Chain A
Amino acid sequence: MPAPVTAQRCEHRTVTDPLNRPIAVRADHVACRLGDVDAVRDLSFEVYAGELFAILGPSGSGKTTALRLIAGFEQPTAGTIALFDDEVASASRVVPPEKRRVGMVFQDYALFPHMSVAENVAYGLPKSAERNARVAEVLELTRLGGMGDRDVHQLSGGEQQRVALARALAPEPRLILLDEPFSNLDQSLRARVRGEVREILKRAGATAIMVTHDQEEALSIADRVAFMWGGRVEQVGTPDQIYTAPVTVHAAEFIGDANILRVPVEDGVVHLPFGDFPAPEGARRVAVVIRPEEIQVLPGGAYGHVVSREYYGHDQVLHVRLEESGFDLRVRVAPHERLGGAGPIAVGLRTTPLVLAADAGGED
């Protein structure tokens, strides 16, 4: 049954789709309690048709429960979930998983061991004349052509994952869900398989939601990312929005490397060794977020000493303790820079830092 679109919900929508695609998934203030744990407290986002959407968060943030709620394996205790305007879950009514037309790719792939590759892929298809043709088509799409008769035990990890993906895609579901899809793969394989999976999903024209705790994974292949913390979606945005403009301290700390400076506000102004910056309205304490690569070594500026150094090859990170203020900063510099020694160095900012009210999460 279609959920009535209320005026209030329209106000809540922060992102409107510039391409005017239909909304494939709408989660509206969903909460879910498992036993005595509030696994999900507030899940709200919209996924557009054809998008590859990632839910990113640390373990225990509720992201897997979010996926299971959308698949129909868990029931919400509050809020609603709609797929293409069909309401599929609320606190009082729930559509069982088999009626949702949602394909699932599990972390362990969950291939049926008593079936061949082709039988696995055909499992979700109704018995019909076109069945074999569809299986062949999907195997071709996932670059498994000619492997239909293989036993699933004979496949490599990457191949097993493509079988799981082919099996999920075969019945042309409204949505594909991927639970930590790359965590079972060897590190050296991941980057390549990630690209493959994105390409397959895009060629199939599928809408997909992927859950991961790996920020690199989420930022590199998703069209948009939802950041979850403590059972809540704290931010939804494109990868570069999430990285460059985190709206909470949690997001800034979890995604990428960041210096977080907690400082008091005086007369609406934040005093930093690099200068004064305006504070958000009404904030009494703020957290200033400065990425290590946004700090540069200058002939003059804030003076400090290099305490230690982490050398990565493509660059290096200096730990600089500032004089006077005593702030410890991580500063990313080019690998060939020979800095430190005995004398002080001076650092400055490349851009205006991000200043968040300290109550925007993370006030440990």
Chain B
Amino acid sequence: MVSIPLPVRTGVARRQGRRGPGVVLVASGALVALLCLIPPVYLVIRAAGSWDTAVETLLSGSALETTFNTVALAALVTALAIAIALPLAWLVERSDLPGRRAIGILAALPLAIPSYVGAMAFIAAFGPRGIVQGWLEPLGVERLPSIYGFPGAVLVMTLFTYPYLFLTLRPALAAADPRVEELSRTFGYSGWVTFRRVVLPSLRPALTSGSLLVALYVLSDFGAPTLLRFSSFTRVIFARYTTAFDRSTAAALALLLVALALAVVALEVWARSKRRLDAIRDSGRPAAPVALGAWRWPAYAFVAAILSLALVLPLGVLVYWLGRGLEQGVAFEDAGSLIADSVTAAGLAAAASVVVGLPVALLAVRHRGWFSRSVEVASYTGYALPGLVVALALVFAAVRFSWLYQTLPLLIAAYVLLFLPQATGTMRVSLERIRPSMEEAARGLGRSPLRVLTSITLPLAGRGMLAGAALVFLTTMKELPATLILSPAGFHTLASRTWSASSEARFGEAAGPALLLVAISTVALVAFRLGTTRSSRDARAGNRAAMRTSDRD
């Protein structure tokens, strides 16, 4: 009879606790956590290395101004994104607006347009020597209000980030219990009062998490503010990194940005801990749609305005410039190699994220405790840190290992650090749907933990893993700052080409790769949405099967 020594019990077991995680799982979890901690550690080392410069930088007036700029941008964009996303989500989920299903799909699509592509389109349209200027010049309009600076940055970033809020608000609106609203109406409150006093409070968790998503995106976005010449943190840091002789000022500013981002994440954690109080219960019955009557016309006008700015305008501008580029013969100069490099990088990043994320997700779902909690928190480093900061930190780290600098593995490592939470998040959801009793039944039938993983857990979680990979693929395609800083020499992706051409106003050259990026992102986005809805249908089928067991034979 084989006996094995008792594995170390990690963490406090739940009431129905089970045996601790195996050695392999603990070791790989610890390794992932350590790797994730490299960027912040190196950032601190670099900033502390030249302490005086760092302190001087942080106390300077320009640091204060940059902080103010960044916070103002994040706050205003978030507020405007709510003002767009909340009515849109309500119209799609709760009104009788004809065509609301199509609107629901279209309104999420700006997510597939990277914000720097959007910024480029707006500059090409409204900038000096832009399309609109060209139309208006014969009419005597010499100068449009400038697209550059704060107003332009707010406009562009709002239009391309509101879908995050839209997508979090929709399920919350759909799941809200209609009985509560009906009850409020029986007390004599009007529809509007009911919305304000009953529906809106129940949306607070979704509003909070969606807003924080938007705020975090604005803080860490590099492309749009830089193209629109607005001095938020990312633009200033990149400028210091590329021009300054001493890179420690960049490190010090990056630390300040990290502090801002961590404050936002802390807000989210705090909001999540409160969420349990006002959890939304699913009554299983959808609410009756609200009849809009004549209000449908203003509703259509609102939807049309948003979609034309966030979807029609950028796509139209890109197509226009694609035509100009084709005329000049520059549109697709090296399309083949750009696509190959992009797909290579994104594919490797997706695969690596799933492999690296699996132990994190397994620990989080099957072995709760302080250890898996710490691994999970560490794996969220990249979620909190802006891509620019992670890339800089890896550059600082690679100074010690110069054979790594500007190699493909280092670039992939940056992507994994940045997008790991997306992979673990989707894998977690699908792993949570697998009842532990299934794995235990397989163990009881004589299968080792590894065999159980490959024959039961992974096949059942397969769709979730694919969805996680697709999500990482999508975001890697669009990723800009890490790609710019860490790409090997001669390695050009669709994103880096779009950037280099558009920052020099060679829009004809940028339009081709940008449109391809949008197309690939759309496919990945749709595949991901289909994947998640398919698997939720599976979950429902599973529930039905479980319910059926209590039916008559």
Q: Give chain A's interface residues, CB within 8 Å of chain B.
A: 1, 34-37, 39, 64, 68, 71-75, 86-88, 92-104, 106-114, 123-124, 152-153, 156-161, 164, 167-168, 171, 173, 177, 184-186, 188-189
- The 8 Å CB contact of A188, one of B4, B18, B545, B552, is B552
Query: Are A34 and B6 closer than 8 Å at their CB atoms?
Result: no
Query: Are B3 and A93 closer than 8 Å at their CB atoms?
Result: yes
Query: Are B441 and A98 closer than 8 Å at their CB atoms?
Result: no
* B1 to chain A: closest residue by CB: A86
B345 to chain A, nearest CB (A): 32
Query: Are A113 and B460 closer than 8 Å at their CB atoms?
Result: yes
* B3 to chain A: closest residue by CB: A93
With A75-B19, A97-B440, A160-B549 as contacts: A123 and B435 at CB distance below 8 Å: no
Surface stretch bound by A, among B240-248, B261-269, B444-452: B444-452
Query: Are B444 and A102 closer than 8 Å at their CB atoms?
Result: yes
Q: Which residues of A contact B12 (CB under 8 A)?
A: 35-36
Q: Which residues of B contact A161 (CB under 8 A)?
A: 549
13 contacts between A and B (CB under 8 A): A36-B12, A71-B444, A72-B444, A96-B443, A104-B444, A106-B440, A111-B438, A112-B442, A124-B444, A124-B445, A124-B446, A157-B550, A189-B553
Task: A164 to B442: give the CA distance in the assembly, Å.
Answer: 11
- The 8 Å CB contact of A110, one of B2, B4, B15, B437, is B437
- The 8 Å CB contact of A92, one of B6, B440, B444, B448, is B6
B16 proximal to A (CB < 8 A)? yes
* B442 to chain A: closest residue by CB: A123
With A110-B441, A123-B442 as contacts: A34 and B17 at CB distance below 8 Å: yes
Q: Which residues of A contact B438 (CB under 8 A)?
A: 110-112
Q: Which residues of B contact A123 (CB under 8 A)?
A: 442, 445, 447, 455
Q: Which residues of A contact B1 (CB under 8 A)?
A: 1, 86-88, 95, 99
Among B4, B456, B551, B553, the most chain A Cβ lie within 10 Å of the Cβ of: B553
Query: Are B546 and A34 closer than 8 Å at their CB atoms?
Result: no
Q: Give chain B's interface residues, CB within 8 Å of chain A.
A: 1-6, 12-19, 435, 437-438, 440-449, 455-456, 459-460, 541-542, 545-546, 548-553
Query: Are B553 and A157 closer than 8 Å at their CB atoms?
Result: yes
* B439 to chain A: closest residue by CB: A110
Task: A184 to B14: give the CA distance in the assembly, Å.
Answer: 24
Task: A72 to B553: give the CA distance in the assembly, Å.
Answer: 33
Task: A39 to B542: give the CA distance in the assembly, Å.
Answer: 31
* A83 to chain B: closest residue by CB: B1
Task: A72 to B12: give the CA distance in the assembly, Å.
Answer: 19
* B446 to chain A: closest residue by CB: A98
Q: Which residues of B contact A185 (CB under 8 A)?
A: 549-550
Task: A243 to B17: give the CA distance in the assembly, Å.
Answer: 33
A27 to chain B, nearest CB (A): 17
Task: A113 to B446: give the CA distance in the assembly, Å.
Answer: 19
Query: Are A112 and B456 closer than 8 Å at their CB atoms?
Result: yes
B546 to chain A, nearest CB (A): 7
Query: Are A98 and B448 closer than 8 Å at their CB atoms?
Result: yes
Query: Are B5 and A93 closer than 8 Å at their CB atoms?
Result: yes
- The 8 Å CB contact of A186, one of B447, B449, B552, is B552
Q: Which residues of B contact A186 (CB under 8 A)?
A: 550-553
* A160 to chain B: closest residue by CB: B549
Task: A167 to B546: give the CA distance in the assembly, Å.
Answer: 18
Extra inter-chain contacts (13) besides given A93-B6, A108-B437, A173-B444, CB under 8 Å: A34-B13, A34-B14, A86-B1, A99-B2, A109-B549, A111-B438, A112-B442, A112-B456, A113-B545, A167-B441, A168-B445, A185-B549, A189-B552
Task: A243 to B438: give the CA distance in the assembly, Å.
Answer: 36
Q: Which residues of B contact A96 (CB under 8 A)?
A: 4, 443, 448-449
Query: Are B6 and A94 closer than 8 Å at their CB atoms?
Result: yes
Query: Are B6 and A106 closer than 8 Å at their CB atoms?
Result: no
Query: Are A37 and B15 closer than 8 Å at their CB atoms?
Result: yes
Query: Are B435 and A108 closer than 8 Å at their CB atoms?
Result: yes
Query: Are A97 and B550 closer than 8 Å at their CB atoms?
Result: no
Among B1, B12, B13, the most chain A Cβ lie within 10 Å of the Cβ of: B1
A93 to chain B, nearest CB (A): 5
Q: Which residues of B contact A37 (CB under 8 A)?
A: 15
* B13 to chain A: closest residue by CB: A35
* B4 to chain A: closest residue by CB: A96
Task: A185 to B448: give the CA distance in the assembly, Å.
Answer: 31
Task: A92 to B545: give the CA distance in the assembly, Å.
Answer: 41
Those 8 A-B pairs whose CB atoms lie nearest each other, nearest first? A124-B445, A157-B549, A110-B437, A104-B444, A97-B443, A106-B437, A110-B441, A158-B553
Q: Which residues of A contact B460 (CB under 8 A)?
A: 112-114
B207 to chain A, nearest CB (A): 36
* A183 to chain B: closest residue by CB: B550
Among B5, B12, B437, the most chain A Cβ lie within 10 Å of the Cβ of: B437
Task: A91 to B184: give the CA distance in the assembly, Å.
Answer: 58
Task: A74 to B447: give the CA distance in the assembly, Å.
Answer: 17
* B440 to chain A: closest residue by CB: A73
Task: A356 to B447: give the CA distance in the assembly, Å.
Answer: 48
Query: Are B551 and A167 closer than 8 Å at their CB atoms?
Result: no
Task: A171 to B441: give the CA distance in the assembly, Å.
Answer: 13
B90 to chain A, nearest CB (A): 36
A152 to chain B, nearest CB (A): 8
Task: A112 to B461: give the CA distance in the assembly, Å.
Answer: 12
Q: Which residues of A contact B446 (CB under 8 A)?
A: 98-99, 101, 124, 171
* B546 to chain A: closest residue by CB: A108
B421 to chain A, nearest CB (A): 27
- The 8 Å CB contact of A34, one of B3, B16, B442, B552, is B16
- The 8 Å CB contact of B548, one of A88, A108, A157, is A157
Task: A72 to B7: give the CA distance in the assembly, Å.
Answer: 13
Task: A86 to B2: give the CA distance in the assembly, Å.
Answer: 10
Q: Which residues of B contact A34 (CB under 8 A)?
A: 13-17
